Chains A and B, each alone.
Chain A
Amino acid sequence: MQKYRYTVLFVLILSATSALILAGMYTGLKDIHEKNAQLFKKRVILKAISPLLDKPVSSLSDDDVEKIFQEKIQQVVLDMEGNPVDAARVAAAGYKKGDALSVDMAKEFKKPEAERLLPLYVYKKRDKKYYITGVMGRGLWDLIWGYIALEEDKNTIAGVAFEHAGETPGLGAEIKDNPSFGQQFVGKKIHDAQGKYHSITVRKGGAKDPDFEVDAISGATLTSNGVTEMLQRSMKYYDPYFQKVK
């Protein structure tokens, strides 16, 4: 009995010490972690408009990134009918800060479609407005997401940035790692000549329609299909808003 008491006591003290160290460290570093995560997200968003920036995103300093977001980007949150949502309602949905950046797309993706909130970033450059939309879908292994920048006509793609949670390096991960994949989207259209919603297809075997299709990645058919599905579905979410502001 005496021996068991020592064993239990030892394990308890060891666990408590470990918990104390980790809890202290977690609380101490929380602000830095959050700031890093935000900066990381901002850089991905800026990647979508990288052709419009003076410098490549990787050579922008953290301060530059913050400055662009403060001075040139307006954040809007939309509901599924295309109406802007005020900060109080965004905060009520669980995003304390109430801006577009705080909206967790992965969390929204799990909600029923009609209740989702959509982040939208409007980038201003010389009187021109660029609309950066957020899209999310499924790749082969896990979630994939991205930011699609549209030009002032709300139709032509100005740039894209894709991210993924766990696609295969060298295959599906190329949607993020290979710049030439994203480059293909520039200049493509999401509406046809009649103004009907069309979206972009990532086609296996090579693009056929120069306006609406791009080449898929060889060896990554399912991730490519995931990108197509993601664009078809989630770019459409923004359509009501674009019809209204037209």
Chain B
Amino acid sequence: MADSKTNAKLDLKPVFFGKKEKKLLLDPLNDNNPITVQVLGICSALAVTTLTTKALTMAVAVTLVVGFSNLITSLLRKLIPSEVRMIAQLIIIATLVTVVSLTLQAVNYPMYKELSVFIGLIITNCIVMGRLEAFAMANDPWRSFLDGIGNGLGYGVILLIIAALRELLGKGAIFGFKLFGPGPDFLVDTQAISMLHWYTPNNLMVLFPSAMFVLAVIIWLHRTWNSKLVDVS
């Protein structure tokens, strides 16, 4: 009796984490990446990638905001009147962003100081709004949540790659851990190795323009590697 009941339930409800769900979560990491394929969220991707710790915090913040705003919007999707749906979505996003910002302020104040403007700007991040409009308004809560988390991760991965390259070449460090550069503070002291005397961290990588060309190179490599993305028409 109990068995047949659960079976009936399973038939009615789609599997908890099947192929489709997996696709929702992993697609944005590669084939449908919000930054390199859809080219959304560029503003913050350029601004917060000077240091890996900053990029990581931002990635976590965006992932939480997209995930939960997708979930809440999807739960409310049948209640939201269509003429005010943008306003309703914005209220949800703004609330979540403020919650994230207040939490960060309590947990890691120096990081909040560094990021404050950009945390606030998640509200206008096209990825969040785009996912709500394109996905959460038409899908069930669980899938919407996965879609949001997937897109947040897709955004975060690219952010971390850019930040790692910039911090490594610009400051010779990763997550503030000094790897190579001139001076005894670094793990590999280029001053001590005669072959590497010429080396000095490239300050250009810390400046904003470098984010532009690092991102461009990443998009190029991504398209070379994944031929599905190349528009042949």
Interface residues of A (CB under 8 A from B): 3, 6-7, 10-11, 14-15, 18, 21-22, 25-26, 29, 32-33, 36-37, 39-40, 168-171
Q: A18-B95, A36-B109, A170-B203 are in contact. Are A10 and B80 (CB under 8 A)?
A: yes
Judged by a CB distance under 8 angstroms, whether B83 is at the interface is: yes
* Docked CA distance A45–B147 (Å): 46
Cβ of B119 to closest chain A Cβ, rounded Å: 14
Q: Is the CB of A169 within 8 A of B207?
A: yes
Contact of A33 among B79, B98, B105 (CB under 8 A): B105
Contact of A10 among B84, B113, B170, B206 (CB under 8 A): B84
A-B contacts besides A25-B98, A169-B206, 12 pairs, CB < 8 Å: A7-B84, A11-B91, A18-B94, A21-B95, A29-B103, A29-B105, A36-B105, A39-B109, A40-B110, A40-B113, A168-B208, A171-B207
Q: Which residues of B contact A36 (CB under 8 A)?
A: 105-106, 109
Q: Which residues of A contact B84 (CB under 8 A)?
A: 7, 10-11
- Give B96-135 as 1s and 0s: 1 = Cβ < 8 Å from A's Cβ atoms: 0011001101100110010000000000000000000000
Cβ of A200 to closest chain B Cβ, rounded Å: 25
Interface residues of B (CB under 8 A from A): 50, 79-81, 83-84, 87-88, 91-92, 94-95, 98-99, 102-103, 105-106, 109-110, 113, 170, 203, 206-208
Q: Which residues of A contact B170 (CB under 8 A)?
A: 170
Cβ of A40 to closest chain B Cβ, rounded Å: 5
* Docked CA distance A3–B82 (Å): 11
Q: Which residues of B contact A21 (CB under 8 A)?
A: 95, 99
Interface centre among B79, B84, B109, B208 (most CB of A within 10 A): B109
Cβ of A239 to closest chain B Cβ, rounded Å: 32
In the complex, what residue of chain A is closest to B117 when comparing beta carbons?
A: A166
Q: Is the CB of A14 within 8 A of B91?
A: yes
Q: Is the CB of B106 within 8 A of A29?
A: yes
Interface centre among A33, A168, A170 (most CB of B within 10 A): A170
In the complex, what residue of chain B is closest to A14 when comparing beta carbons?
A: B91
Top 5 closest A-B pairs, CB basis? A170-B206, A36-B109, A18-B95, A7-B81, A32-B106
Q: A6-B81, A32-B106, A169-B207 are in contact. Are A14 and B88 (CB under 8 A)?
A: yes
Q: Which residues of B contact A29 (CB under 8 A)?
A: 102-103, 105-106
* Docked CA distance A22–B92 (Å): 12
Q: A18-B94, A22-B99, A29-B106 are in contact. Are A170 and B50 (CB under 8 A)?
A: yes
Cβ of A235 to closest chain B Cβ, rounded Å: 25
Q: Which residues of B contact A3 (CB under 8 A)?
A: 81
Contact of B99 among A25, A168, A169 (CB under 8 A): A25
* Docked CA distance A182–B109 (Å): 23
Q: Which residues of B contact A33 (CB under 8 A)?
A: 102, 105-106, 109
In the complex, what residue of chain A is closest to B94 when comparing beta carbons?
A: A18
Query: Can you pick out 23 interface pairs between chain A and chain B where the beta carbons lie within 8 Å of each other?
Result: A3-B81, A7-B83, A10-B80, A10-B84, A10-B88, A11-B91, A14-B88, A14-B92, A21-B95, A21-B99, A22-B98, A25-B99, A25-B102, A29-B102, A32-B106, A33-B102, A33-B105, A33-B109, A36-B109, A168-B208, A169-B207, A170-B170, A170-B207
